[in-house]
Amino acid sequence: MRVAVLIWRLGPYHHARLNAAGKVAEVFAIEACALDNTYAWEKLEGAVHFTRITLQERDPAGRREKREFRDRMFRALDKLNPEVVAIPGWSFVDSLSALSWCVSRRKPVVVMSDSTSSDSPRAFWKEAIKRQVVKLCSSAFVAGTPHTEYISALGMPPGRIFLGYDAVDNEYFSKGAEEVRSPRKAAEQQRGEQSSVVRGQYGLPENYFLASARFVEKKNLPRLIEAYARYRKMVDNGLQDNKTTGPSVVSSPVVSSPSPVVGGPVVSGRPSAPWSLVLLGDGPLKSDLCHLISDLGLQHSVLLPGFKQYPDLPAYYGLASAFIHASTTEQWGLVVNEAMASGLPVLVSNRCGCAQDLVREGVNGFTFDPYNVEEMANVMLRLTETPKHRLTEMGDASRQLISAWGPERFARGLHDAAETALKNPPPIATVYDRLLLMALIYK
């Protein structure tokens, strides 16, 4: 089965997905552009189990560039002549150009999506347009449960929807994290020096919450920093109370989970020193965040190492105590996959698309309202007061849960969606459908 998979720009996590998919089908990855302004990834070269085609160096902007891009897409697909084309979403020029080609050549389409009904405000007229686009697709390949519900509401029959779209290289993060946690072999490092050496090399504290995000509004970083400041005050107050009244014996109950991954509640211990906050990333809000950190007096407890390339990430995950993701809107949140594969407890905004499928309350972490600073501080405190062995169990639960959402699931889901698309040819497009696609491409 020859499957063309469209990607705006090939990132590190695409390699793992496509290599897995290339073992069960003949996969051609059509990359719209090699570089863009959204992600600061280093330019990736090569492919293993798939064929990579890059249409142009930079992303198209003006109407003339989009017309030229559409022509490139048509030529590439004519040359490949795939049996099925998988397109990401319904609003980008690469997806729409490929869909236009499929309509003209009567080729079935798999629409890939990690959109939910709540990740942005929904206008009736825009939803009507999406339904027209989805109608031209034969099956859907989506991220998780809320994404299934949304694509179904847009008209895709439930029997043609498959899961596993958002995946990372679980093995890469798991192995990399364990390497920095475990003693090195004497032959590799004198005297068997442990993770403290790596911690010193990266300038990382003994215990810290890790966050990784672009410094843009939807990532909710100002509230995260404010919640962290509130958390530190709560810990400091607890330490002061403990000095005068003795050890705390108050437990912090959690919601029990039906999941068999890890049993038993998270029990609070006596107050411990507050953890630090390490915030990876960069972006237009960096200056504002630096001012906020200074105003709150957090210069020595909030670290901003900057944006880190893929090879550096396992060290930051491996040495962290827990991961927190505070977005007010997030279609999925692949950094949560990375943290769970690295064996970390996770604190995840309930507005993230992955929360429903990946977080088991009290088992591998907690969810929270990203607009509620006090609630965010409370879940941070809850982990700080959790005994170390329970944190380890929660991290193990994360790794076990995410094992079902890796590249192999992506490969299986894409294969099944493509097979279903072949069995369900799309309807013949009307003149209105064709005109709509042209208008959307050049908008």
Q: In this predicted model, what pLDDT tens digit does every residue of 16-75 receive, in sequence order?
A: 999 999 999 999 999 998 877 666 667 666 678 999 999 988 777 667 788 899 999 999
pLDDT at position 134 over 50: yes
Q: Is pLDDT of 233 > 90?
A: yes
Phi and psi of 249, rounded to 5°? -120, 10
What is the model's pTM? 0.89
Residue 197 pLDDT class (50, 70, 90 cuts): confident
Choose between 42 and 282: higher pLDDT.
282
Task: Check residues 398 and 62 and name the one with the higher pLDDT.
Answer: 398
Q: Answer yes or no: is pLDDT of 267 > 90.
A: no
Could you read off the pLDDT of 361-380 as tens digits, one per residue?
999 999 999 999 999 999 99
Residue 121 has pLDDT above 80, yes or no: yes
Of residues 193 and 434, the one with the higher pLDDT is 434
Confidence (pLDDT) at 46? 66
The DSSP secondary-structure symbol of 158 reads G
What local confidence, expressed as pLDDT, does residue 152 receive? 97
Q: What is the pLDDT of residues 298-352, one digit of tens each?
A: 999 999 999 999 999 999 999 999 999 999 999 999 999 999 999 999 999 999 9
Dihedrals φ, ψ of 337, to 5°?
-55, -45
What integer pLDDT is reported at residue 183 of this predicted model?
Answer: 57
Asked whether residue 132 carries a pLDDT value surpassing 60, the answer given is yes
User: Average pLDDT, whole number, for the chain?
Assistant: 89
pLDDT over 50 (residue 231): yes
Q: What is the pLDDT at residue 240?
A: 62
Predicted confidence at residue 200, as pLDDT, reads 86
Structure tokens at 215: 């410094």
End-to-end CA distance of the chain: give it in Å, rounded: 34
User: Between 248 and 28, where is the model more confident?
Assistant: 28
What is the mean pLDDT of the segment spanning 121-146?
95
Q: Specify the 3-state DSSP secondary structure of 387.
A: coil
Confidence at residue 192, expressed as pLDDT on a 0 to 100 scale: 40
b/e sequence 10-48, b meaning 16+ C-beta within 10 Å: bebbbbbbbbbbbebbbbbbbbbbbeeeeeeeeebeebe
Domain boundaries, the chain: 2-167+406-441, 170-404
Architecture of domain 170-404: 3-Layer(aba) Sandwich (3.40)
Of the ranges 73-82, 245-254, 291-300, which one carries the lowest mean pLDDT score?
245-254
**Residue-level pLDDT at 427:** 84
Residue 326 exposed, middle or buried by CB count within 10 Å (0-12, 13-18, 19+): buried
Whole-number pLDDT of residue 60: 72
Question: Is 200 exposed, middle or buried (CB count within 10 Å of its CB: 0-12, 13-18, 19+)?
Answer: exposed
Nearest-CA neighbor of 281 among 211, 217, 328?
211
Question: Can you give the pLDDT at residue 426?
Answer: 84
Same CATH topology for 2-167+406-441 and 170-404: the answer is: yes
CATH number belonging to domain 2-167+406-441: 3.40.50.2000
Which pLDDT value is given to residue 251?
35
